């Protein structure tokens, strides 16, 4: 009896699939190039990541190379650099998160308070602009502006700081990285919050004014709660990339004297893999990076779902 039922169900399912394929055949054919693209440039490299568990030699290929299990991971964990680069990665990432994440929210709230809409628009346009300048140029500018004869040491000299090339001093590296990041992205990042702010129900404010709530109370009890879902989503996405610091930027900014504080997991992967040609070892390090990110993403998502009932999935 039971078997019969599941048979019927199975048949219905197959019939449905057949019907679906008949109707949508041309659509499936159409999307094939897209599938091929993702297979080639995303899934093949994922598969290629198994060289992390092998001793990869290009002439032997992925299958020809011998298995070594977790050797590369152990080498990395026990290696001289492990704690240093993990610490650097977390330090740079958390600094960017703590200072960089609230900045666009604050900017959006302040822009939202401007009474003159035209003025607000002009300011917004100025703040978006740096987002479109290429990283190479930005880093060139940072080098130039922080050099001993540059603008920033010149301005700092008014506060009694001896002019020197800031990028050569380890203690300035993280601040330079974080501040320039905020400079470049704060305006662009604020757009999404401004969009959320325009959707806040105006009648809530009217009611609050009647109840005698001042601006500050309105901010705490209406504005912030209304844009909270957006903030949470952005935070989850950000935390899911906790170990992906802007490594292209670090590559363009670091030098021998700041390596101790600036070297992060991804720059280490780059140097080990592409300059020293230790393919398997650097793939293992990269894989470690991906897995940690993924754990953070899943963790953050489930915390947020429990606390705020907002999640990516």
Site for other proteins in 258-277 (CB under 8 A): 266, 269-270, 273-274
Q: Minimum distance from CB of 271 to other proteins (Å)?
A: 11
Task: Give the Cβ contact number of residue 85 at 10 Å.
Answer: 21
**Beta carbon of residue 78, minimum distance to other proteins (angstroms, whole number):** 21
Residue 228 contacts other proteins per CB under 8 A: no
* Residue among 95 and 191 whose Cβ is closer to other proteins: 191
* Cβ neighbours around 181 below 10 Å, total: 20
Contact (CB, 8 A) for 103 and 186: yes
Which DSSP state fits 129? G
Should residue 164 be labelled a site residue for other proteins when binding is judged by CB under 8 A? no
Only segment of 17-25, 86-94, 166-174, 217-225 that touches other proteins (CB under 8 A): 17-25
Q: Which of 102, 137, 92 is nearest to 247 (CA)?
A: 92
Q: Torsion over CA of 46, 48, 53 and 54, rounded to 10 degrees?
A: 180
Pick the binder of other proteins from 4, 126, 212, 306 (CB under 8 A): 126
Does an H or E element contain 91, and which? Answer: helix 82-95
Q: Give the shortest CB-31-to-other proteins separation in angstroms.
A: 4
- Residues 60-79 within binding reach of other proteins (CB under 8 A): none
Question: Is residue 173 a contact partner of residue 249, using CB atoms and an 8 Å limit?
Answer: no
Least separation in angstroms between residue 310's CB and other proteins is 10
Residue 217: CB minimum distance to other proteins, A: 13
Among 108, 167, 196, 239, binds other proteins (CB under 8 A): 196
Q: Residue count at the site for other proteins (CB under 8 A)?
A: 89
Cα-based torsion angle of the residue sequence 74, 76, 79, 85 in order, rounded to the nearest 10 degrees? -150
Q: Which of 105, 150, 238, 263 binds other proteins (CB under 8 A)?
A: 150
**What does the alpha-carbon distance between residue 120 and residue 115 come to, in Å, rounded to a whole number?**
8
User: How many Å apart are CA 254 and CA 263, to the nearest integer?
Assistant: 8
- Judged by CB under 8 A, does residue 195 bind other proteins? yes
Stretch near other proteins under the rule CB under 8 A, chosen from 36-44, 72-80, 85-93, 168-176: 36-44
User: Closest distance between other proteins and the C-beta of residue 1, in Å?
Assistant: 29
Torsion angle defined by CA atoms of residues 88, 92, 93 and 95, in that order, rounded to the nearest 10 degrees: 140
Only one of the segments 4-12, 39-47, 93-101, 166-174 lies at the binding site for other proteins (rule: CB under 8 A); that segment is: 39-47
Candidate ranges 48-56, 74-82, 90-98, 168-176; the one touching other proteins (CB under 8 A): 48-56
Tokens of 165: 């090339």
Alpha-carbon distance values, 186 to 145, 275, 307 (Å): 20, 34, 27
């Amino acid at each position: 009896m039971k078997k019969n039922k599941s048979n019927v169900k199975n048949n219905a399912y197959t019939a449905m699939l057949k019907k679906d394929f008949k109707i949508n055949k041309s659509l499936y054919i159409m999307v094939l190039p897209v599938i091929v693209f993702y297979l080639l440039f995303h899934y093949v490299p994922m598969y290629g990541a198994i060289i992390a568990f092998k001793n990869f030699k290009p002439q032997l290929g992925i299958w020809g190379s011998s298995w070594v299990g977790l050797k590369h991971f152990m080498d990395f964990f026990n290696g001289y650099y492990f704690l240093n680069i993990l610490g650097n990665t977390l330090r740079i990432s958390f600094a960017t998160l703590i200072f960089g994440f609230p900045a666009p929210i604050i900017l959006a709230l302040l822009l939202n308070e401007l009474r003159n809409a035209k003025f607000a628009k002009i300011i917004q346009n100025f703040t978006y602009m740096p987002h479109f300048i290429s990283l190479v140029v930005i880093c060139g500018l940072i080098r130039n502006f922080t050099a001993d004869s540059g603008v920033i040491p010149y301005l700092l000299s008014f506060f009694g700081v001896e002019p020197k090339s800031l990028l050569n001093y380890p203690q300035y590296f993280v601040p330079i990285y974080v501040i320039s990041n905020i400079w470049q992205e704060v305006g662009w990042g604020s757009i999404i919050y401004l969009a959320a702010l325009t959707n806040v129900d105006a009648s809530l404010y009217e009611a609050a004014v009647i109840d005698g709530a001042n601006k500050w109370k309105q901010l705490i009890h209406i504005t912030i709660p209304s844009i909270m879902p957006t903030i949470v989503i952005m935070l989850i996405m950000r935390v899911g990339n906790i170990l992906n610091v802007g490594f292209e930027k670090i590559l363009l900014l670091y030098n021998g004297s700041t390596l101790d504080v600036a070297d992060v997991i991804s720059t280490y992967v780059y140097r080990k893999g592409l300059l020293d040609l230790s393919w398997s070892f650097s793939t293992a390090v990269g894989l470690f990076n991906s897995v940690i990110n993924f754990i953070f993403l899943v963790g953050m998502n489930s915390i947020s779902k429990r606390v705020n009932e907002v999640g990516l999935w």
